[in-house]
Structure 1
C-alpha cells in the first residue's frame, strides 16, 4: 500500500480525514471561546502557561 501511495496509484485517504477533524476541532475551540467571559479565558491561559513552563 505504501508503494502504491508513493507511485501515485492510490491516494492516501488518511490525510483528508485528519484535516477534516482538525478543522472541526478548530471550530469547536472558537465557539467555546466565544461563549466564555474574558476572565475565564485569562484563567485558562494562565493555567496552560503554568503547565507549559513547569517542565
Structure 2
C-alpha cells in the first residue's frame, strides 16, 4: 500500500481513496495525522530564513550565488 508524504497509509486506487475521505468526513474513520516531531514555531521561522537572508545580501552577492547555481544546474555533467 502506498504511503503519503508523512508515511501515512492510503489506498492505492482512486475509488478506495474517495471512500476513505468519505469515511473521515462522516466520522466513521479517524483522520490520523502523524506528528513530525518539529516545533511549529521553528518551522515558521525556518520558512522566513531565505527571504531574510536575501534582504541582508547585496545585489552583487545575490548575483554571484545565482550564477554559481546556474553553472551547477546547466553546466557540463560530471558522470
Give the TM interval when normalised to the shorter protein: 0.5 to 0.7
The Cα of 1:32 is off from its aligned counterpart by 0.3
Q: Work out which of the residue numbers 70, 73, 77 in structure 2 matches 1:49.
A: 70
Give the aligned CA root-mean-square deviation in angstroms: 3.0
Does structure 1 residue 36 correspond to structure 2 residue 57?
Answer: yes
Task: Tell me which residue corresponds to 1:27.
Answer: 48
- Bigger relative CO (Cα 8 Å, ≥ 6 apart): 2
Tell me the secondary structure at the aligned position of residue 2 of structure 1: coil
In the TM superposition, what whole-angstrom CA distance separates every residue of 1:1-55 from its partner, at most 9, and x where no partner exists?
Answer: 626xx6332233368x6xx84x544410000000000000000000000000123
Does structure 1 residue 2 correspond to structure 2 residue 9?
Answer: yes
Distance in 2 (CA, whole Å) between partners of 1:33 and 1:48 is: 15
TM-score by length of 2: 0.45
Gaps in structure 2 of 5+ consecutive residues: 1-7, 11-16, 25-29
